């Protein structure tokens, strides 16, 4: 274990909008602030094409630009960043808390704000990782044109699956939607546009169990959830849009209370069950997830930290 | 041109020179899309940690990218970005689609150390 230790007034884990908003406030309050993220700054916002509903921007702004602006704003006030960092251990229970990073040593603090957000869910079935980028895709705008005049699968029936299907329909010859339920979960207006398209057919109540390649085709082995019978279908590619999962696996061996889905349970001031530990943004158990809400969460958590720090 | 803080490759000649004159080169070839931006960002962060590696990007839609698209290693790629790692002028690894920081670091450790 490294002997290298640095103390900060606040450590924020997660550099999405919640974490960056929190950092802007703590840094402006002259609290030494460290933001840690396993990736780059921006969270889900940086992979959002355009953001049209963030107040203050009359014209929509590219998600990566908004994320970059937030990071620069936090940096301007003195926030330090450790990005692309791996947390190898975390201690939250005592008054002095610490986060240990691979190759970077330990960072200690009295206050931690967890703002790790969520990530697109993977199916985690055989073949998914093996064919990522060569038959399996997660982005219509990025990879749709590779499938021009091809037959594809779309896995999922929620809003993202249907919105991405509408984009894919501009390129592909046909879409077979594989969905686990008997009806689509997407907003009716979007779902109707997809289902009305003659190039679309839907395989209801089925879940993919494995992907593999047969010559140039991707094969999906899917199970009928009502009969448990499996079928095999071939197409040119597979697009997966099956929602989001909270980035909370690193909290597994900590005393932080999570819901059964892995979201952090918080009170109205973003406090968790551990004194000095707050959670903000999409990692929280709540009903709505928006950039503006994440920013609000980060601000509330920070104001609480500032209040306790000054007392 | 890509809106990143990486050095951009804008011509085939530039790419040829880069891999000829540097032992370790990593090039991310893509667009300003959701699968590509995280990889550019990770490159930006890692270039501070690995000064011996030349990290660059190139726009998928310019002629310089033809050198990457035409690589045998990329023949079966159907997902952006294409990330190519060169050592001593030769391709030692190529990955399609989005990669996490952990995955990129793992490739770097595999092919450059």
pLDDT digits 0-9 by tens, A111-131 = 999 999 999 899 999 999 999
- The pLDDT assigned to A309 comes to 87
A148 to chain B, any CB pair closer than 8 A? The answer is: no
Q: Which of A86, A93, A120 is nearest to A13 (CA)?
A: A86
Supply the CATH classification number for the domain A5-120+245-310. 3.50.50.60
Parts of chain A with a pLDDT under 50: 1-2
Q: What is the DSSP string of B25-73?
A: EEEEEE-SSTTTHHHHHHHHHHHHH-TTSEEEEEETTSGGGHHHHTSGG
Residue A166: count of CB within 10 angstroms of its CB: 15
Record: contact B77-A40, CB cut-off 8 A: no
Q: Which of A84, A117, A152, A239 to mutate to test the interface with B (most CBs of B within 10 A)?
A: A84
d(CA A5, CA A158): 45
Residues A99, A105, A107, A113, CA torsion sign: negative
What is the structure's pLDDT at A103? Answer: 81
Q: Are A80 and A71 in contact (CB under 8 A)?
A: no
Q: Chain B residues with CB inside 8 Å of A138's CB? A: 35, 97-98
Question: Is the Cβ of B101 closer than 8 Å to some Cβ of chain A?
Answer: yes
Residues of chain A contacting B30 with CB distance shorter than 8 Å = 142
Q: A with B: how many residue pairs have Cβ under 8 Å apart?
A: 90
d(C-alpha A2, C-alpha A20), whole Å? 28
A134–B78 CB contact, under 8 Å = yes
Does B87 contact chain A (CB < 8 Å)? no
Tokens for B75? 């023949």
* Top-tier CATH class for A136-240: alpha beta
Closest by Cβ to B32, choosing from A64, A84, A146:
A64
Average model confidence (pLDDT) for chain B?
95
Interchain CB contact of A263 with B (< 8 Å): no
Return the number of other C-beta atoms located less than 10 Å from residue B108's C-beta: 19
Alpha carbons B69 and A174: distance in angstroms, whole number:
26
User: Which candidate, A47, A218, A215, places its Cα nearest to that of A130?
Assistant: A218
The token pair that represents B32 in the structure block:
């300003």
* pLDDT number for residue A1: 42
> In chain B, count of helices (H) and strands (E)?
4, 5
pTM of the model: 0.88
Per-residue model confidence as pLDDT tens digits over B56-84: 999 999 999 999 999 999 998 999 999 99
Of A63, A134, A138, Cβ closest to residue B35: A138
Residue A79 has what pLDDT? 97
Pairing of strands A97-101, A87-91: antiparallel
Q: Do B78 and A237 touch (CB under 8 A)?
A: yes
Q: Do B32 and A138 touch (CB under 8 A)?
A: no
B2-14 per-position pLDDT tens digit: 999 999 999 999 9
Write down the pLDDT at residue A3: 52
The 3-state DSSP composition of chain A as helix, strand, coil percent (nearest 5) reads 25, 30, 45
Q: Tell me if chain A has a CB within 8 Å of the CB of B46.
A: yes
pLDDT tens digit sequence for A4-46: 689 999 999 999 999 999 999 999 999 999 999 999 999 999 9
CATH code matching the domain that covers B7-108, chosen among 3.40.50.720, 2.40.110.20, 3.40.30.10, 3.40.50.150: 3.40.30.10
- Residue A47: what pLDDT? 85
Min distance B43 CA to chain A CA atoms (Å): 10
A135 Cα to chain B: minimum distance (Å): 6
Whether B36 sits inside 8 A of A134 (CB atoms) is no
Return the pLDDT at B110: 96
DSSP per residue over A234-269, as a string?
Answer: EESEEEE---EEES-GGGTTSS--B-TTSPBP--TT
Q: What residue of B is the nearest CA neighbor of A45?
A: B34
Q: B1 and B32 in contact (C-beta within 8 Å)?
A: no
């Amino acid at each position: 274990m490294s002997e290298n230790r640095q103390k900060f007034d606040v450590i924020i884990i997660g550099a999405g909008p919640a974490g960056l908003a929190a950092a802007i406030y703590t840094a402006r309050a002259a609290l030494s602030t460290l933001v840690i993220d396993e990736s780059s700054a921006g969270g889900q916002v940086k992979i959002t094409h355009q953001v049209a509903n963030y107040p203050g921007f009359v014209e929509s702004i590219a998600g990566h630009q908004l994320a970059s602006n937030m990071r620069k704003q936090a940096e301007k006030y003195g926030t330090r960043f450790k990005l692309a960092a791996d947390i190898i251990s975390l201690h939250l229970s005592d008054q002095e808390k610490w986060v240990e990073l691979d190759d970077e040593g330990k960072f200690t603090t009295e206050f931690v704000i967890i703002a790790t957000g969520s990530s697109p869910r993977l199916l985690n079935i055989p073949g998914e990782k093996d064919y990522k980028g060569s038959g399996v895709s997660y982005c219509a705008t990025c990879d749709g044109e590779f499938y021009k005049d091809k037959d594809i699968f779309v896995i999922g029936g929620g809003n993202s699956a249907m919105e991405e299907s509408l984009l894919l329909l501009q390129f592909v010859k046909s879409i077979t939607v594989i969905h686990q339920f008997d009806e689509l979960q997407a907003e009716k207006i979007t779902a109707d546009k997809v289902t009305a398209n003659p190039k679309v057919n839907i395989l209801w109540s089925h879940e993919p169990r494995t992907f593999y390649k047969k010559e140039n085709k991707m094969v999906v082995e899917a199970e009928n959830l009502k009969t448990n019978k499996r079928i095999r279908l071939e197409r040119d590619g597979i697009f997966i849009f099956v929602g989001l999962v909270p980035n909370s696996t690193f909290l597994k061996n900590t005393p932080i209370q999570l819901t059964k889905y892995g979201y952090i349970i918080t009170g109205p001031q973003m406090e968790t069950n551990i004194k000095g530990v707050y959670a903000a943004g999409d990692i929280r158990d709540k009903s709505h997830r928006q950039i503006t809400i994440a920013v609000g969460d980060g601000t509330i958590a920070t104001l609480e930290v500032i209040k306790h720090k000054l007392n | 041109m890509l809106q990143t803080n990486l050095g951009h490759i804008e011509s085939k000649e530039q790419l040829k020179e880069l891999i000829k004159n540097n032992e370790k080169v990593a090039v991310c070839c893509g667009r300003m899309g959701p699968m590509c931006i995280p990889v550019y960002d990770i490159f930006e962060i890692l270039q501070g940690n690995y000064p011996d590696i030349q990290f660059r990007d190139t726009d998928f839609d310019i002629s310089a990218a033809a050198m990457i698209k035409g690589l045998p290693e990329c023949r079966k790629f159907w997902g952006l970005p294409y990330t190519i790692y060169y050592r001593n002028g030769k391709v030692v690894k190529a990955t399609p689609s989005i990669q996490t920081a952990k995955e990129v670091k793992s490739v770097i450790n595999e092919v450059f150390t």
